[in-house]
Amino acid sequence: MECATAADCLSTASILAASGSARDRAQAKAVFARASRLAPHAKEAWLGLGALSQDEGDFEGAALHLSRALRAEACCWRAGINIGNLAAMRGDMASAARAYRHVLRCTPHVPQAWYALAFVRLLQGSPPAACALMQRAWGLKSDLYSIPGFAFVLDGAPYTV
């Protein structure tokens, strides 16, 4: 599928990616790739490629594309959070925490980053720090994620939020 401009490619690729069919998502990936060639600094193209690669289980490719999105826009919180999520999936909690802290330095108003860092702190064995971070997330958006889900992870630990 050809498109004349990066903007046209991004619009078309977004529609294709949202359809959900494997064929459309494969086409979306090709169109996002074309957009990235037409406008190498278009973070949206790299975010789209990263998301589709991650959905396909190509975590290495996803990390590469998301890194390109961060190079295009250093404070792109969606790329930073997803890079952190990929690191956490690999079990590299230090890299995950570093990615989330980068997002928070750039955009402290993004509750998803506070939430993600809270879970890393839980996994690192620091429930008090996790609770404090979760409170920051809920202070920004109280319906972000379920309190019971967080309580389940705490597994009855004597910390309150």
Given CATH 3.30.1380, say whether it is the number of domain 93-161: no
Query: Between 161 and 18, whose confidence is greater?
Result: 18
Q: Is the model's pLDDT at 161 over the cut of 50?
A: no
The confidence score (pLDDT) of residue 13 equals 94
pLDDT tens profile 61-118: 999 999 999 999 999 999 999 999 999 999 999 999 999 999 999 999 999 999 999 9
Tell me what the mean pLDDT of segment 6-24 comes to. Answer: 92
Question: Which two tokens mark 58?
Answer: 């190509």
Question: Which of 53, 107, 38 is closest to 76 using CA atoms?
Answer: 107
pLDDT tens profile 121-154: 988 999 889 888 988 888 888 776 555 555 555 5
Cα distances from 85 to residues 81, 99, 156, 161, in angstroms, run 6, 9, 25, 24
Domain boundaries 1-73, corresponding CATH code = 1.25.40.10
Report the alpha-carbon distance of residue 123 to residue 93 in Å, rounded: 8
The confidence score (pLDDT) of residue 104 equals 97
Q: Write the burial class of residue 112 (CB in 10 Å: 0-12 exposed, 13-18 middle, 19+ buried).
A: buried
Q: Is the model's pLDDT at 157 over the cut of 80?
A: no
Domain parsing of the chain, residue ranges: 1-73, 93-161
Q: What is the DSSP letter of 3?
A: -
Question: Which of 21, 22, 20, 42 is closest to 32 using CA atoms?
Answer: 42
Q: Is the model's pLDDT at 44 over the cut of 70?
A: yes
Q: Is the model's pLDDT at 159 over the cut of 50?
A: no
Domains 1-73 and 93-161 share a fold: yes
